[in-house]
Structure 1
Amino acid sequence: MNQATSIGAERLQRRMARGVDFLGSEAAILCGAMSWVSERHLVAAMSNAGGFGLIACGAMTPELLDREIAATKALTSKPFGVNLITMHPALFELIEVCNKHAVSHVVLAGGLPPTGSIDAIKQNGAKLICFAPALSLAKKLIRSGVDALVVEGMEAGGHIGPVSTSVLAQEILPDVADKVPVFVAGGIGRGEAIAAYLDMGAAGVQLGTRFVCATESIAHANFKKAFIRASARDATASVQIDPRLPVIPVRALKNAGGDLFTAKQREVAQLLDEGKLAMAEAQLQIEHYWAGALRRAVIDGDVEHGSLMAGQSVGMVTKEEPLADILATLMIEAAHALEKRAV
């Protein structure tokens, strides 16, 4: 792709200025935290390329996170952050690990921050980013002292909410973008979309799926091939068969594992109807079905029965390439789009 003109590049720089200032990176683009994928190599590559990498803590123990942060620091001197899950039983110990390493930015995902967690994160000067799935929650989080928000729509991969990115952006940006930096996420695969959200008032964006097939990503070759072959319609949300058996919606590529999960739900529901299974045990069977499935796919390469979490932007992932090239392409596309604007 041709380089963008200085006009487009200057406009992009101006629109990203707030996000860049907040993150301390060269581009206001975060690499979303993807369990097993967003580890030291991808995080360091993202930050070294000028973006902002995020370690996906997921179910890591404090000891594992301690080692992962140290290993990431050995690969980059640029800023990066850590994504923590609010439901983690050792959340406050994980926060202490982040404080010990003077991690500059912490992202809390998976629900409202537990009491005391905001103060624990900010006491050492770290900036706190939280997900806002609705305008009311965005306002509540800002009142609680959160420094920035991520607005992520249902087009994203992994655990998702019910509302699309474009609707959430229209709902939330006009009300809160002047109060804290807001990063838009979910289904973004090209620079033109980045430019559009920046024009709407976003301070930057977050992408995950687009970076899975970076050369530096440790994802198994089978996992990357599945992404490269997939189209947007292959990234579907999991379906709940029975209201008695709650299923948190997850967007992933269709495979045999997904079909078997649907069959498993029907089987458990029938056993419930026949009185052969207690409700608690039935719900536990559904909850544990996918245990370890993401690791099986990402690390072991079992793309038939593992979980292939992917956003709908997966159709725009067409090859394996260095992360710096992916980021540069996105920036050039966004700059070209901005050249067409009046200002």
Structure 2
Amino acid sequence: MTNKITKLFNIQYPIVQGGMIWVSGWRLASAVSNAGGLGLIGAGSMYPDVLRKHIQKCKKATDKPFGVNVPMLYPDIEKIMDIIVEEGVKIVFTSAGNPKTWTAFFKEKGITVVHVVSSVKFALKAELAGVDAVVCEGFEAGGHNGREETTTLTLIPMVKEQLKIPVIAAGGIGTGRGMLAVMVLGADGVQIGSRFAATIESSAHENFKKTIVEVKDGDTHLTLKELAPVRLVKNKFYNDVQELYQHKPSIEQIKELLGRARAKRGMFEGDLEEGELEIGQVAGLIHEIKSAKEVLEEIVKEYNEVKSSMIDF
């Protein structure tokens, strides 16, 4: 399976594991890379020294390409970026910020840069900033960086129509059929988050992994748009948020309810009542916790089987 994305990252399959907060540590990233995809360490939930340790451990665990995902709103962003360069990371995915800010910095050092967007407008800005590819993330995703609520199946062809650089589809993809669908619409590869969150190597708490498996259609909802739009499992915390919205709260009141480390409390520490549980709509198709290698192999197998069957149409 060779195309623009496999060549860009020097990987076997055009499958990228999303760099999710509290989920994507070195174990998951290295497991995905060893299985032929591109593993990403999620820097968004790591202090600089913790990120350095994860990068070093990942380098020992795999000799295959891997990258780091960095939300650019990070308070210690300069330290994070310097560590990425110092540790010799060759691929960086940036999100939640202006791609112009750091793209040139990385490109000068020979680092491949990909930026996450949620609209045609921002995809064009990312291309103009000089990134090597974009991840176009639809409304279905768990961690969502846009407010347009454009679905993946409509976003991909609109972006593909405008851009010359490779396009990676994200949001609502967790199976081979889903991968084939977005590839038909013009995507050069896929980024998959939720399915890899429910794997053995994921650093998510077991309580959260079990919750992902139990999620059904309608059990998640995109909310907290005033801060950073995220798709949450409907639990007590989610209900508290909705109750607050009934009173037309200020941003300060929403921040007060959210508090600190709410996502860590839910996804990493396993508090299913008071924690923030971020997951995509595709969780309704996740029925079992498996190894990252098994997940990737199943996706590729289904992709090839369905693609072959389409010849008969």
TM normalised by structure 1 equals: 0.85
Name which of 42, 45, 48 aligns with 2:34.
48
Match of 2:230 in 1: 250
Match of 1:274 in 2: none
Calculate percent identity across the aligned residue pairs: 32
Unaligned segments of structure 2, at least 5 residues: none
- The Cα of 1:222 is off from its aligned counterpart by 1.1
**Structure 1 Cα separation of the partners of residues 283 and 98 of structure 2:** 29
- The Cα of 1:288 is off from its aligned counterpart by 4.2
- The Cα of 1:78 is off from its aligned counterpart by 1.1
TM normalised by structure 2 equals: 0.93
The number of residue pairs the alignment matches comes to 309
Match of 1:101 in 2: 87
Paired residues of 2:29 and 2:41 also in contact (CA < 8 A): yes
Write the letter of the residue equivalent to 2:266.
Answer: A
Local SS of the residue matching 1:102: coil
Match of 2:257 in 1: 289
Query: Counterparts in 2 of 1:4-153, with a 5 A limit?
Result: 13=1, 16-115=2-101, 117-153=102-138
CA deviation string 1:70-94 (max 9, x = no partner): 1211211111100111112322321
**Structure 1 Cα separation of the partners of residues 130 and 311 of structure 2:** 36
**Structure 1 Cα separation of the partners of residues 68 and 244 of structure 2:** 35
Local SS of the residue matching 1:233: coil
RMSD: 1.9
Moved over 6 A (4+): none
Q: Check if 1:225 corresponds to 2:218.
A: no
Paired residues of 1:209 and 1:311 also in contact (CA < 8 A): yes
**Structure 2 Cα separation of the partners of residues 66 and 248 of structure 1:** 26
Structure scoring higher RCO (CA < 8 A, sep ≥ 6) equals 1
Write the letter of the residue equivalent to 2:58.
Answer: T
**Structure 2 Cα separation of the partners of residues 55 and 34 of structure 1:** 8
Match of 1:322 in 2: 291
- The Cα of 1:63 is off from its aligned counterpart by 2.0
Write the letter of the residue equivalent to 1:171.
Answer: M
Query: Counterparts in 2 of 1:168-317, with a 5 A limit?
Result: 168-176=155-163, 179-238=164-223, 246-266=226-246, 269=249, 283-290=251-258, 291-317=260-286
Write the letter of the residue equivalent to 1:81.
Answer: G
Query: Greater Rg, structure 1 or structure 2?
Result: 1
Local SS of the residue matching 2:288: coil
Local SS of the residue matching 1:55: strand
**Structure 1 Cα separation of the partners of residues 186 and 251 of structure 2:** 42
Unaligned segments of structure 1, at least 5 residues: 1-12, 241-245, 270-281
